[in-house]
Each structure stands twice: as C-alpha cells, then as structure tokens.
Chains A and B, each alone.
Chain A
C-alpha cells in the first residue's frame, strides 16, 4: 500500500547523491584503504605468484614449500610463503615454521625458517589441531563467512612485515575462489603456477581452475605435475602412480608450458624431503623471473 492510499501525504526528499554533505562513515573509502594497505605492503615485494590447483590432495602445499626453498637457494634476496589455505593450512608445518610471531608497529613478523625464507600461515595462529573458528554469532554464518575469509587473506598479505622479498609465493586452497580474491587484492600478481597429478580426475578439475584463472586474466606461468611416478627400490625404475597424463594434456590444451614432473617424494624422518628435481625448480624459477606481470596504473 503506498502512502497516498493510507491517507498519508507523500514525502518528497533528496536522494543520497543529491545530498552534498560528506558521508562520514565513508565505507567505500575504508575499503579502498584496506586495499591500499596491501598495495603499500607489497611495494617491497618484487614478484608475487600463486600456486593453485582445482583439486585437493595433489601436493600443492608440498610444491609451494619446496619451491620456496628451491628459489631461496637460487636467489640472493628473500622468498616469502603465504599459506592462504585458511581452513587446512599445512605449508608452514612442512617448512618447520614456529611461533610466536612478533608484532610491532611494522606489523606481524613472519616466521623465519631459513635466513631468507619467511612464512606466514593461519597454522601459526591456531591451537594445535583446531580448525579456524570465527568468534562471531553463529546465526546465518554462511552470509558473512566469505567476507571474513577474504578479510583474513587481506590481512595476511597486508599486515605482515614481509619487508624486501624477491618472490612471495601464495599457496592457495583448492578451487578458484581464493585466486579471485587474491587477484582483486594483488592486481600486479606476476602469475600462477598450476599443480596437478596425472589422473584424469585431476585433469578435469584443474581444467576448471585454469579456465577461472584465464577468465580473471591471471597470467599462467606453467604446470607442475606432481606424483608423476615413484622410484622402485628394487629395480630403480620409475613407475606410474596414476593412470593418465594430466600435466601434458593440460599444457597442450591451454598452450601453457609443462614446467616439469615431480615423482612421489621420499619420506625423510617425520617430514617429506622438501626438494624439487633441479630441472623443475630451474624451469619454475625461469618462468617466474621472465614473467611480465599485468600493468597496474599507480594508485
């Protein structure tokens, strides 16, 4: 029922844009300020790359962690690893990172696992074995959880005292959503390394995430095929672990270089040995260093 039908005089008033006074809350400016914090923080980071996959369980965090060590061994400058998998963080554990993390006026200082390797992960902030638990009211959580997770990623990028880095590696959770968030926050993203295993299931899943990256305009630096086989202790031959050749198939399908294949990694004591074959580390390194990140106009 409109105002006239209820016997009430219709009210005439100006709209938001017609009222010229300042919007004191300035929510748009506050959000822009959040983005600016990330931009300013990453001014000292020469290259930011994402390690992504459409499928879970392909060893993405292993590849990202081993890549951090491999790049650090090849570069003079620092390498950072941000574990952006908020719900199932593992990269910091693979690298043996430990807290507590120092907080000062410059921000939260990442864990240092080697003189030139810095790590930040939600795993360093949570109680042992506990999942991430948001303290807000439980009602209708699905509405705001995505906002909080994006905000957490923003803070892990922008509030960490990364200082000067040659490369910041962002280990993304499976799927394309977080890549989209990352690319919004870091439009100067150098590119993404895609991780798959040889199976057909992985090929189909990773194909989707590659298409997501292409739709976003994220440069795809190359594909790493993990668990491409295992070396038999008896005969010394490398035998396949999975049916399929997803790495090659995806590389051909999208015209992206296959940067290498990584056999099933041997276990050394409690932790897997974090070392990529030199040819793979060299190929990834080359693809990262020659990549031309998207041109972003100065803010």
Chain B
C-alpha cells in the first residue's frame, strides 16, 4: 500500500500507527514535499483481516516471537508455556527491574501470553538502557511498539 500526495505527485511517508484499543487501527502519513498529513483509519473488520494475516501495516517494529499469532489470538491455558527469560543482550547490559505497579499490571495479562509480553517489555527496556520498568515505561513501549492488548 502506498499513499500519494496528488498535488505534489509525491509518495507520502509513513509516520506512525496507533491501536486505540477498540479493535480499530490508525496510521498517519505525511507528504515530504508539502507536509500535508493524512490518517488512514481501519474499522474492526479491516484491522482483524490484517491481524489474521499476521502482518503489520508500516512494517514490523518487533522481532517475531515464537507462536506470536497463536499466543495473541487463542485463549490458551495459562501454564501451557514456560518462557525462559533471554539472557541480557550484551556485555554491561542488565535486565531491568519491575516495579510493583508494573508487575501488578503484567499480572492482568492472560497467562498464555504473559511470558511473551514480559519479554517484549524487558527487551524494550534493555535496548534503551532503562533500569526499571514502570507503568509509564509500559505505556511508552505499548505506544511505540504498537502492542495491542499488551
């Protein structure tokens, strides 16, 4: 999918996507020539069709996790999977600690997908040198990474 600024005859550039949490999807594009911005708004059904293909509008921002589609789409058994935390990414890098509030929030994530979600937040924090994961960090990650329902 490409968006064309007709006035400038220039391909518009993808800016960001948003998942408002109501099952819909939004993405914004801007014309690099005139600066005009537009939003593409998809309804629940259009969003779901894209999700069912396990693809991301605007490209993937995250590494694909094992069984990501199944874990985010199926109501599975809470203790079916035992996620082994990955080791810290490199020398001098440590895993961030979880604040009590962030742990409480994580506990509300369905058990079947919780280990995967925890890893995504931990990787996000580690890659940015964040030492403690708080609800604010989770919100930021959710927004930047487009984590619907996580």
Q: Using a CB–CB distance below 8 Å, which chain A residues touch chain B?
A: 11, 13-14, 16, 19, 21, 23-27, 30-31, 34, 37, 99-105, 107-108, 122, 124-128, 130, 132-137, 139-140, 143-144, 147-148, 151-152, 154-156, 159
CA distance A30 to B62 in the complex (A): 12
Q: Is B70 at the interface (CB under 8 A from chain A)?
A: yes
Residues of B53-85 contacting chain A, CB below 8 A: 53-60, 64, 66-70, 72-77, 79-84
Could you say which residues of chain B place their CB within 8 Å of the CB of A154? 69
Given contacts A103-B66, A152-B70, contact A25 B59 (CB under 8 A): yes
10 tightest A-B CB contacts, nearest first: A147-B52, A21-B11, A144-B52, A159-B66, A30-B55, A100-B82, A104-B84, A107-B66, A133-B75, A125-B76
Given contacts A103-B66, A108-B66, contact A151 B45 (CB under 8 A): no
CA distance A139 to B23 in the complex (A): 11
Could you say which residues of chain B place their CB within 8 Å of the CB of A151? 52-54, 69-70, 73
- Interface segment, B1-9, B96-104, B126-134, B137-145? B1-9
Q: Is B51 at the interface (CB under 8 A from chain A)?
A: yes
Could you say which residues of chain A place their CB within 8 Å of the CB of B83? 103-104
A148 touches B82 (CB 8 A): no
**Closest CB of chain A to B18's CB: distance in Å?**
15
A24 touches B66 (CB 8 A): no
Identify A30's interface contact among B45, B51, B56, B68, CB under 8 A. Answer: B56
**How many residues of B are in contact with the other chain, CB < 8 A?**
45
Identify A155's interface contact among B58, B70, B82, CB under 8 A. Answer: B70
Identify B74's interface contact among A23, A101, A132, CB under 8 A. Answer: A132
B81 touches A126 (CB 8 A): no
CA distance A156 to B115 in the complex (A): 18
Q: A135-B73, A155-B67 are in contact. List 15 more A-B contacts (CB 8 A).
A: A24-B59, A25-B55, A25-B57, A25-B59, A100-B80, A101-B81, A108-B67, A108-B81, A125-B77, A130-B75, A139-B44, A147-B49, A155-B70, A156-B70, A159-B68
Could you say which residues of chain B place their CB within 8 Å of the CB of A14? 4, 9
B60 touches A30 (CB 8 A): yes
Could you say which residues of chain A place their CB within 8 Å of the CB of B66? 103, 107-108, 155, 159
B48 touches A16 (CB 8 A): no
